[in-house]
Amino acid sequence: MHATLPLLEQTDFPPLYREALAVLQVNLGYLCNLSCTHCHVNAGPKRTELMDKDTVDLVLAFIEKEAIKILDLTGGAPEMNPHFRELVAEARRLGVKVIDRCNLTILEEPGYEDLAGFLAAHQVEITASLPCYLEDNVDRQRGKGTFHASIAALQKLNAWGYGQENGDLRLNLVFNPQGATLPPAQEPLETAYKAHLREHYGITFNRLFAMTNLPIQRFGSMLVSKGVFNQYLQLLKDNHCDENLRHVMCLDTLSIDWQGYVYDCDFNQMLQLPLGATGTEKIHLRQLFGRTLTAAPISVRQHCYGCTAGQGSSCGGALI
């Protein structure tokens, strides 16, 4: 994709080195019931890439052998992988915290009517995309009707006990900007989300994660089509904050694609940048059993400024 080509050039982004591995972020495939404009995975209903049973078993074996603490499941819509429930149940049996990166609307699709109950029964933490609390903005980014489906899904999750202030079932929402801008400050935005969703729909949730859009895949192509790709990269770089380097998610996280290949982060996965700052060959998860990655270099490029600009951005929202 042309939008990614400038990111493969030499970079002046500061070098990064791995800390102890704690999180395994697994992309179960690019199949999704939506085609969102801000999607950095370019997922959609016509994608056929899905992690198979053998690779799921390999992931579980790695989790057990390497004592992984957190399994972070993403996609596409990870729930559309036929092995999703087996992976969740077995990971929870191993005592691992499981995060499901849910687009919410999947909970309203035919055949997934019992999904909310399954997630609650296994105490899966849900991090759900809701790029705005206004209907027009959400439908513009994600497709007509997705806002009302998302609201219905959130109400369903609340009914199962998700999103209560002192409850065990965590429900986090994700904000993404509409265009080529940085997200606003996370804390006041969370306050606004909570007030609006409670007042208008009776919905409660735990945290809001404000995430920066990365200039890759579908969002990168949109920037190119509007002639603002380089301008957006410069915006990210101009707002770089060194303090964020201490908290970026690639320090303790590995990203696994649907075939079992390993990357420093989900964004590098989409750019097919192999694990580590040296070499060009992709590394498979089976090659990492018993191998320490602590102090290993992380592969960085210009798009990494998206994680360090302003308040910072990670799969857990703002960094500072």
**Parallel/antiparallel/unpaired status of strands 97-102 and 125-129:** parallel
Question: What pLDDT was estimated at residue 53?
Answer: 98
Q: Coil, strand or helix: which one is 288? A: helix
The per-residue pLDDT of the chain, averaged, comes to 91
Res. 8: pLDDT tops 60 = no
With cut-offs at 50, 70 and 90, classify the pLDDT of residue 104: very high
Q: What is the pTM of this model?
A: 0.93
Helix locations, 14-172, DSSP H: 53-66, 84-93, 115-121, 135-142, 146-159
> In the structure encoding, which two tokens stand for residue 289, read together?
């059993």
Residue 171 DSSP SS3: strand
Q: Tell me the pLDDT band of 37, cut-offs 50, 70 and 90.
A: low
How many C-beta atoms surround the C-beta of residue 176 within 10 A? Answer: 23
Q: Which of the four CATH numbers 3.40.50, 1.10.3470, 2.60.40, 3.20.20 does domain 2-308 have? A: 3.20.20
Q: Is the pLDDT of residue 1 over 70?
A: no
Q: pLDDT tens-digit profile of 192-231?
A: 999 999 999 999 999 999 999 998 877 888 899 999 999 9
Please report, for the chain, the start and end positions of each structural domain, with discontinuous segments joined by +.
2-308
Q: What is the pLDDT of residue 14?
A: 96
- pLDDT digit string (tens) for 272-318? 899 986 667 899 999 999 999 999 999 999 999 999 999 999 989 99
Rg, the chain, Cα only: 19
Q: Is 184 a residue whose pLDDT tops 60?
A: yes
pLDDT at 45: 84
Q: Name residues whose C-beta falls within 8 Å of residue 245's C-beta, 6 or more positions apart in sequence.
A: 14, 16, 308
